[in-house]
Amino acid sequence: TLPKDDAFYTMTILSGGSAPGAIMKHRTPPARISAVGFAAVNLENRHQILYRTNEFFGNVTTTVITVLVSYKVDRMIIISYQLA
């Protein structure tokens, strides 16, 4: 499902209604996680979090992070990976 067709990504933001970093929505992703051409990854847990932030010019917006939790993982270690 494309983000434009997924209600999870739809957010009405009131200016000043919440602080940057505030979680607006949370869900388990609707499908298993996989990359093009690869089988789905076997994960202990997965989350999608839509949170409030500010864009380059300071305007209020939201963005989504996907958190993947592997089996037998040291929960004190976090790896962050972004594509830009």
Domain boundaries, the chain: 3-31+38-69
- Residues 84 and 75: their CA atoms lie apart, in Å, by 26
Give residue 27's pLDDT.
95
Give residue 28's pLDDT.
93
Confidence class for position 15, pLDDT limits 50, 70, 90: low
- Residues 47 and 66: their CA atoms lie apart, in Å, by 6
Percent of the chain with pLDDT over 70: 90
Give residue 8's pLDDT.
92
pTM for the model stands at 0.78
In the predicted structure, residue 26 carries a pLDDT above the cut 90: yes
CA 76 to chain centre: 20
Give residue 36's pLDDT.
67
